[in-house]
Structure 1
Amino acid sequence: MSIDRSYVVEDVMRRWPATIRVFLDFRHACVGCPIATFHTIEDSCREHRTAEAPFLAALREAAAKPQEVLSPGG
């Protein structure tokens, strides 16, 4: 499943935790923001004046990578 511009920011970060780094790299202050619970990717790009296409591409790339599994104790 591909991330779409209509997806809610918090849902994206919860489902694909690796995307959090993308939000930070693009200087979107969405991590921990209460607005992330109802703002879409489209809203976030508009608010932070980011071109949607490269942002979505970066989100999709991060989401496609295998999730790192941490073992207890390290």
Structure 2
Amino acid sequence: MPIGFDDLVHDVMNDWPATIRVFLDFRMGCVGCPIACFHTVDDACGEHHVDRDAFLKALREVVASP
């Protein structure tokens, strides 16, 4: 099941630890943030003014890579 905009940030990083690098590369302060368990991927993109489509694509690429 691919990552979607409605997935919680905490769940994404917890289920696929390799995605942490994507959050850091996009300069998002989600790693270690106490709100990560409440914010969706879409919420985080909005808070950090990140292109949501580019970010989701990067997350999915990391998860799909061997």
Aligned equivalent of 2:64: 64
Aligned equivalent of 1:33: 33
Separation (CA, whole Å) in 1 of partners of 2:63 and 2:12: 9
Superposition TM-score, scaled by structure 1 size: 0.86
Separation (CA, whole Å) in 1 of partners of 2:13 and 2:64: 13
**Per the alignment, in what secondary structure is the counterpart of residue 50 of structure 1?**
coil
Aligned equivalent of 2:6: 6
Separation (CA, whole Å) in 2 of partners of 1:64 and 1:17: 13
Report the Cα offset of residue 42 of structure 1. Answer: 0.4
Aligned equivalent of 2:45: 45
Count of residues in Structure 1 that have an aligned counterpart in Structure 2: 66
Separation (CA, whole Å) in 1 of partners of 2:65 and 2:31: 20
**Sequence identity percentage:** 61
Report the Cα offset of residue 64 of structure 1. Answer: 1.2
Largest Rg, 1 or 2? 1
Aligned AA (1:20):
I
Moved over 4 A (4+): none
Any unmatched runs of 5+ in structure 1?
A: 67-74
Superposition TM-score, scaled by structure 2 size: 0.96
